[in-house]
Amino acid sequence: MKTRFPLIAATLIAMAVLTGCPNSEGPETEPVTPEITSVSIDEGAEVEITVSKITILWSVPVSIKDSTGITLNGNKVAAVVQNLNMTVTLGNLGYSSSYTLKLASGAVVNKNDGAPAAEFSLDFSTGEKEPENPELPDQLNFDGISDAPVNSNATAETRNLYSYLKSVFGSKTISGTMANVAYDDGMAEWVHDKTGKWSALTCYDFIFYTHRSDIYSSSYNSWVDYDALVNNAKEWWNSGGIVALMWHWHDPSRSVDNFYCSGGSDATSFDLTAALADTSSTDYHNITADIDTVSRYIGDLQKAGVPVIFRPLHEAEGSYRWGAWFWWGNGQGDASGEDDVRAASCRKLYRLMYDRMVNHNGLNNIIWVWTVSIDDYDYLWYDDAKKWYPGDDVVDIVGIDIYDDSGVGHGSHLDFFKKTAFVGDCDKMVTLAETAFIPSAEDMQGNGDVWLWYMPWYGDYTKSEEYNADYWGTSFSSDDIITRDELPSLK
């Protein structure tokens, strides 16, 4: 037995030499680079500020080798890993902010073989803070209304008119009518024939005064009496009435003879934003030329001692649901938000008009009115309306146009009165610049929403039984409604 062991041992040694020794660690393998398979936030996404973490899923189990290489906007952030999952804590995010999460090359490695992950970058952002509408109080305080117009060089007649408006605001309402064909007194005459009284205010429209007859035919608007607006306004003032003006401004580019930017094949696509951005452009020149044209007529009234209430760029915002319907509310171009572009361009145009008329053309007979656009569908009405407001330094009165189809009829619209007042921080008088229905004097007095004046639109809104035909007499019979015979001398 003893003689056999050396032989077996020698045999085994020989076999080992011939076949080679086995490797106890197995065959060598290539390192596996960790790759990201999914991220809880998409590249370029806008997230809520409540998002506090980002989850990253890797292709292999990972570990963090260099925690300083995990940053948010350059600042180190905490991260933990468990097998394939990695959670990065973002901390508190802010509104309207942009963020970049970065994982530096080698900050994360394969847990098993140490292979480094490549650099990773993720951009995301947060949206604007959702604005909150102010709480509307039971009573509004208008103690901040100025004693004088915003134009410190206003004429004596303009100051007298402004002082009178302020004296009656909150206690009585001035009655108003709209011109029938832009510049005549047809509606005022109809109301007078109906009631035996004249409305205290009447409004004329410059709609035809920058018409583009040259692009159609020489006779396109040959029927327009260009002397009528000034002559009728003078006569109205000299008869003891208040003169108001507005302007359905036709496309300054002359491409179409329209002011609507939607609703038909002849709608204008005029880009207000682009026009205002280039003061050397033809469009910009046309804008200022049109302003100068209108200024000449207002200047004629100034020479005659007639102050005017002027309401340019009305209803600029259009409808919250449907957008702008006039080109002056349809600015385009690049910006962070489409509504901001539209609003900013309109504000710029209003202020250009104010500067051009007052400082360049020397018009000091204007009381300036801004018309808000607020409807029942605008749930963020305050922020939306404030974006469009041109500024306290160029606005004397804040107004709204209400064409009510919801059955309110001759109601006084308390909610809209308060909202309109808040746009001017209750430091401006508030008027019902256009309306379908004359508001009830009794309701206005009872509710406390005493509009400075009311003005139904012309045509059926003035003459139809569906609206106001038989209500003029009711309104004029109230001691709280001012007709032309009740106005003091404002000269």
Confidence (pLDDT) at 17 = 41
CATH 3.20.20.80 fits 156-486, yes or no: yes
CA–CA separation, 317 and 224 (whole Å) = 30
Confidence (pLDDT) at 336 = 42
Confidence (pLDDT) at 220 = 57
CA–CA separation, 469 and 360 (whole Å) = 43
Write down the pTM of the prediction. Answer: 0.77
Looking only at the bridges linking them, the beta strands covering 481-482 and 173-178 are parallel
Sorted by where each begins, the domain ranges of the chain are: 36-126, 156-486
> Do the domains 36-126 and 156-486 sit in the same CATH topology, yes or no?
no
Asked whether the beta carbons of 453 and 174 are under 8 A apart, the reply is yes
Instruction: Please give the structure tokens belonging to residue 32.
Output: 């596996």
CB environment 176-214: b (16+ within 10 A), e (fewer): bbbbbebbbbbbbebbbebbebbbbbbbbbbbbbbebee
CA–CA separation, 331 and 344 (whole Å) = 8
336: exposed, middle or buried (Cβ count in 10 Å: 0-12, 13-18, 19+)? exposed
Confidence (pLDDT) at 264 = 74
Q: Where are the beta strands (DSSP E) in 127-180?
A: 173-178
**357 DSSP 8-state letter:** I
The residues, ordered by sequence, that sit 6+ positions from 111 with a Cβ below 8 Å of its Cβ are 60, 61, 62, 63
Instruction: Please give the structure tokens belonging to residue 200.
Output: 């205290």
Q: Is 291 helix (H, G, I), strand (E, B) or coil?
A: helix
Asked whether the beta carbons of 61 and 85 are under 8 A apart, the reply is no
CB environment 369-383: b (16+ within 10 A), e (fewer): bbbbbbbeebeebbe
Q: Smallest Cα–Cα separation from 431: which of 231, 200, 188?
A: 200
What is the dihedral sign for C-alpha 382, 385, 391, 396?
A: negative
Instruction: Please give the structure tokens belonging to residue 356.
Output: 């051009």
CATH 2.60.40.1220 fits 36-126, yes or no: yes
Confidence (pLDDT) at 73 = 95
359: exposed, middle or buried (Cβ count in 10 Å: 0-12, 13-18, 19+)? exposed
Could you identify the residue written with the tokens 């899923």? 57
Confidence (pLDDT) at 21 = 43
The residues, ordered by sequence, that sit 6+ positions from 369 with a Cβ below 8 Å of its Cβ are 309, 310, 311, 395, 396, 397, 398, 399, 431, 433
Could you identify the residue written with the tokens 């292999």? 60
CA–CA separation, 483 and 491 (whole Å) = 17
Q: How far is CA 364 from the centre of its chain?
A: 29
β-sheet with 79-82: strand ranges across: 36-39, 53-58, 85-89, 79-82
pLDDT in tens, the chain (491 residues): 334 434 444 443 444 444 444 444 555 689 999 999 999 999 999 998 889 999 999 999 999 999 999 999 999 999 999 999 999 999 888 888 999 999 999 999 999 999 999 999 999 999 887 778 999 999 999 999 999 999 999 999 999 999 999 999 999 999 999 999 899 999 999 999 999 999 999 999 999 998 765 544 455 567 788 899 999 999 999 999 999 999 999 999 888 888 988 877 789 999 999 999 999 999 999 999 999 999 999 999 999 999 999 999 999 999 877 788 999 998 875 434 456 888 999 999 999 999 999 999 999 999 999 999 998 888 889 999 999 999 999 999 999 999 977 778 999 999 999 999 999 999 999 999 999 999 999 999 999 999 999 999 999 999 999 999 999 999 999 999 999 999 999 99
Confidence (pLDDT) at 489 = 95
Looking only at the bridges linking them, the beta strands covering 366-372 and 397-402 are parallel
Confidence (pLDDT) at 7 = 40
